[in-house]
Structure 1
Amino acid sequence: MEGDVPQGTLFVMTGASGVGKGTLRARLLERVKLYYSISMTTRAPRPGERHGVDYWFVDRARFEAAVERGELLEYAEYVGNYYGTPRAPVERHLARGEDVLLEIEVEGAKQVKERAPRLGIPAVFIFIVPPSLSELRRRLLLRSGDGDPAKLKEIAARLARAEREIREAGGVGFDYVVTNDVLESATVDLERIVRAERLKT
């Protein structure tokens, strides 16, 4: 901790693929001052994505070296690529008294839940759920755009994973569960969570 500045809070937002985590994160950051921690990944950049803005794009050897050196707060493999959160920027901003937001996979959230107390990091865990699995299926189908059999197979796999993650979420001990049914309502719920947690400190 730097001087007498109270340590910031780590807000960990997670949920199944397709529930709208990225959209909610972007809307929350427009309304509430939080440092958003950029993840490191081994996947190739998508069109329009920029290194150091959307992700830290690295090769597998660099990522594995970061894991070996303990430089990541959490990491997980998803669809053949690694994703992880560099520890240094998170710890630096928390020490300055800034609140930090992570938007990560469920597996990564479990790791942070386990490690945060050992690292002395005050953390709040938020799980985003769809209004129903049928609505999640509809959203994933809309996102895929066409009836390509490969995409339909991927959607089926993501739905199965989503169902498992939602089922297992109860055992992780999330502090809050937010249903992303109406985007504005879910955004307001997240904003209220951050403001309520700030009142506790």
Structure 2
Amino acid sequence: MLAGPTAVGKGTVSAWVREHHPEVWMSVSATTRTARPGEVDGRHYYFVSDEKFDEMVMRGELLEWAVVHNLARYGTPRGPVVAALDAGHPMLLEIDLQGARQVRETMPDALFVFLAPPSWEELVTRLVGRGTETDAERRARLATAKVELEAAAEFDVVIVNDDVRRAAEELVHLMKP
């Protein structure tokens, strides 16, 4: 399980793992937000309507879900995770802090990894540099990031994302028996 603040590089680290370690099963989250440029439905996220998300919640189809940055809902579909576990695959769930806390309740034996930025300044630079959010969205994400950074002690391992390849390899190493 990989979590960390906004713009820390969770998606970038996960993409590196996906490209270089195809043996690692990657969960795909559902979200009610719109796709960013280059994102593919079913690969990066399942982009669903609010109505579809409500149905998934009511049917118990999500392992965890949360409203993130007071903007959109994200959740991890339960079925694929259970199937991957049953098949014995090393797996990676990329989720937010709220989701990690929910999963800890139902899967306490999972390994919880917090991805941290090298510094607050670097986190701000990364968020501003990607240019995918409005000023209001950036302010909301940075406020959330401050709270999320304080939760690092809740995790089993903290990996500093100062180099994507190194951080990804450390993460994969932790998944191996």
Normalized against structure 2, the TM-score is what? 0.89
Closer, same or farther: CA 51–30 of 1 in aligned 2, 3 Å: closer
**What is aligned with 1:95?**
86
Picking from 104, 115, 140, the partner of 1:128 is 115
| Structure 1: gaps spanning 5 or more residues | 1-11
Q: C-alpha offsets along residues 140-196 of structure 1, whole Å, 9 cap, x if unaligned?
A: 222228xxxx834432332221111111232x3x1110001122322232122123x
For 1:188 and 1:53, the matched residues in 2 are separated by 21
Aligned to 1:58: 48
Deviation at 1:128, TM superposition (A): 0.3
1:70 aligns with 2:53: no
Q: State the alpha-carbon separation in 1 of the partners of residues 98 and 140 from structure 2.
A: 16
Work out which of the two has the higher radius of gyration on C-alpha atoms and give 1 or 2.
1
Identity %: 43
Paired residue type of 2:134 = K
- Which amino acid in structure 2 is aligned with residue 24 of structure 1? V
Residues 1:13 and 2:2 are matched in the alignment: yes
Report the TM-score, using the length of structure 1 for normalisation: 0.80
The answer to whether 1:137 aligns with 2:124 is yes
Q: Is the counterpart of residue 164 in structure 1 residue 151 in structure 2?
A: no
Bigger mean CA offset, 23-32 vs 101-110: 23-32
- Looking at structure 2, the residues matched to 80 and 59 of structure 1 have their Cα atoms a distance apart, in angstroms, of 13
Aligned length: 175
What SS does the aligned partner of 2:111 have? strand
Mapped contact 2:113–2:159 kept (Cα < 8 A): yes
- Give 1:29-44 correspondences, 5 Å limit: 29-32=18-21, 33-44=23-34
Change (3 A) 1:126 1:64: same
The answer to whether the 8 Å contact 1:31/1:191 transfers is: no
- Match of 1:6? none
